[in-house]
Copies of this chain bind each other. A is one copy, B any other.
Amino acid sequence: MRNFGMKCSRCRAPADHRFPAHNARFCDDCLILFVNRQVERAIKQFDMLEPGQTVAVAVSGGKDSLALWDVLHELGYETKAVHLVLDLPDFGPQSLEACQAMAHRLGQELHISDVKELSGLSMDELWRGSHREYCSVCGTMKRYYLNRLCHDLGCEVLATGHNLDDEAGRLLGNLIRRNERHLLRQWPVLEGMSADVGPGLSKKIKPLCRLSVDELKIYAKIRDLPVAHGSCPRNRGATLLYYQEAMDFLDQNMPGTKRNMYFGFLDEKGGPPPSPDPVGRCQVCAAPSHAEVCIACRLILRAKKRGAKAAKGQKNRSGSV
Asked if A175 is at the interface of the complex by the 8 Å CB criterion, the answer is yes
Asked if A264 is at the interface of the complex by the 8 Å CB criterion, the answer is yes
For A178, what are the chain B residues with a Cβ–Cβ distance below 8 Å? Answer: 261, 264-265, 268
Please tell me which stretch of A220-228, A247-255, A301-309 contacts chain B, meaning at least 4 of its Cβ atoms lie within 8 angstroms of it: A247-255
Chain A 241-267 interface mask (CB, 8 Å, partner B; 1/0): 011011101100110010011001100
A242, B252: Cα distance in complex, Å? 10
Asked if A1 is at the interface of the complex by the 8 Å CB criterion, the answer is no
Expressed in whole angstroms, the minimum distance between the Cβ of A280 and any Cβ of chain B is 31
Which chain B residue has the least Cβ–Cβ distance from A241? B253
Expressed in whole angstroms, the minimum distance between the Cβ of A152 and any Cβ of chain B is 39
Q: Judging by beta carbons under 8 Å apart, are B261 and A253 in contact?
A: no
For A254, what are the chain B residues with a Cβ–Cβ distance below 8 Å? Answer: 239, 242
Q: Judging by beta carbons under 8 Å apart, are B261 and A176 in contact?
A: yes
Which chain B residue has the least Cβ–Cβ distance from A260? B177
Chain A 94-113 interface mask (CB, 8 Å, partner B; 1/0): 00000000000000000000
A116, B242: Cα distance in complex, Å? 44
Within 8 A of B (CB), among A214-239: 239
A10, B177: Cα distance in complex, Å? 29
Asked if A172 is at the interface of the complex by the 8 Å CB criterion, the answer is yes
Which chain B residue has the least Cβ–Cβ distance from A262? B176
Chain A 266-299 interface mask (CB, 8 Å, partner B; 1/0): 0010000000000000000000000000000000
For A246, what are the chain B residues with a Cβ–Cβ distance below 8 Å? Answer: 246-247, 249-250
Chain A 46-76 interface mask (CB, 8 Å, partner B; 1/0): 0000000000000000000000000000000
Q: Judging by beta carbons under 8 Å apart, are B239 and A245 in contact?
A: no
Question: Which of A239, A257, A265 has the most B CB atoms < 10 Å from its CB?
Answer: A257
Expressed in whole angstroms, the minimum distance between the Cβ of A21 and any Cβ of chain B is 14
A250 interface neighbour in B176, B257, B261, B268, Cβ under 8 Å? B176
Q: Which 7 residue pairs spanning A and B have beta carbons closest together?
A: A246-B246, A175-B175, A242-B253, A176-B261, A246-B250, A246-B249, A178-B264
Q: Which residues of A contact B (CB under 8 A)?
A: 172, 175-178, 239, 242-243, 245-247, 249-250, 253-254, 257, 260-261, 264-265, 268
